[in-house]
């Protein structure tokens, strides 16, 4: 099955290209800039692909507080235009979203049908995209995730390893709880879902995040332990590490319906971490 992917250099797009092979065409910003929604929609109208995956996004969470219009253009307006073009042709449209659409209250995992209430501009921009994609009326799947990591690009694992080169003690936030998610597992899930939707499987909104939930501090400790880095981690509250964009404290995601509908089990993020560390050693 031919698949058209928007995004070429991001973490999930990189894995999609590794796993999708010659049947997948990935378009970078030079060919499909999401600040031009009409162009992106026209590409879909002209494609010979049988499914479309949007793995491109505005992801600068803190900067979005000053650039909400731009974030909404890329994360909201463009995906909606793309979903409408895909719906016109009956093409499955798959889209990555985020745990940041939730306020993060309580401690129970968020289910796909729970009411969203984003705390920041980035979350609002992603929520706008979700609503428009559903309203487009075509076959679609929205896959929310959290805390993505890979050997490629900028992410928490690589930041911790970089800091460990010059520090033997780090303060890391411990009251934000979520599921670190290997990009490789996200890419595999999207490819499986694309094939299923093409064969007539109903879509909808789903969650995929790593198990078991942990804090950023716990994620850091596991990274250092597996990488053999002697770095002490001190737990701190979010209030001690203020950021322009407020983060949800509870980013746990209930992934049960993804396994029920598509047979995709929730991955163990520690297995993914081990793979990423091996990749970084070989780099």
What residues are annotated to the active site? 122
Q: Return the bridge partners of 211, or none.
A: 268
């Amino acid at each position: 099955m031919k698949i058209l992917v928007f995004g070429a250099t991001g973490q999930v797009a990189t894995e999609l290209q590794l796993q999708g092979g010659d049947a997948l065409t990935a378009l970078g910003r030079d060919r499909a800039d999401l600040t031009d929604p009409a162009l992106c929609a026209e590409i879909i109208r002209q494609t010979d692909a049988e499914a479309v995956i949007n793995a491109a996004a505005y992801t600068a969470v803190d900067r979005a507080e000053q650039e909400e219009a731009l974030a909404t253009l890329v994360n909201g307006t463009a995906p909606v235009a793309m979903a409408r073009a895909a719906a016109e042709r009956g093409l499955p449209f798959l889209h990555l979203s985020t745990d940041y659409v939730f306020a993060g209250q309580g401690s129970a995992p968020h289910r796909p049908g729970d009411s969203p209430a984003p705390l920041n501009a980035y979350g609002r921009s992603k929520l706008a995209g979700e609503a428009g994609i559903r309203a487009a009326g075509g076959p679609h799947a929205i896959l929310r995730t959290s805390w993505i990591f890979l050997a490629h690009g900028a992410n928490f694992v690589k930041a911790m390893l970089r800091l460990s080169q010059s520090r033997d003690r780090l303060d890391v936030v411990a009251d934000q709880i979520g599921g670190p998610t290997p990009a490789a597992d996200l890419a595999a899930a999207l490819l499986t879902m694309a094939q299923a939707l093409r064969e007539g499987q109903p879509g909808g909104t789903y969650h995929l995040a790593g198990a078991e939930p942990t804090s950023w501090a716990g994620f850091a400790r596991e990274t250092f332990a597996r990488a053999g880095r002697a770095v002490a981690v001190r737990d701190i509250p979010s209030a001690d590490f203020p950021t322009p964009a407020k983060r949800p404290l509870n980013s746990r995601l209930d992934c049960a319906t993804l396994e029920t509908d598509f047979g995709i089990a929730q991955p163990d993020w520690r297995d993914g971490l081990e793979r990423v560390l091996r990749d970084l050693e070989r780099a």
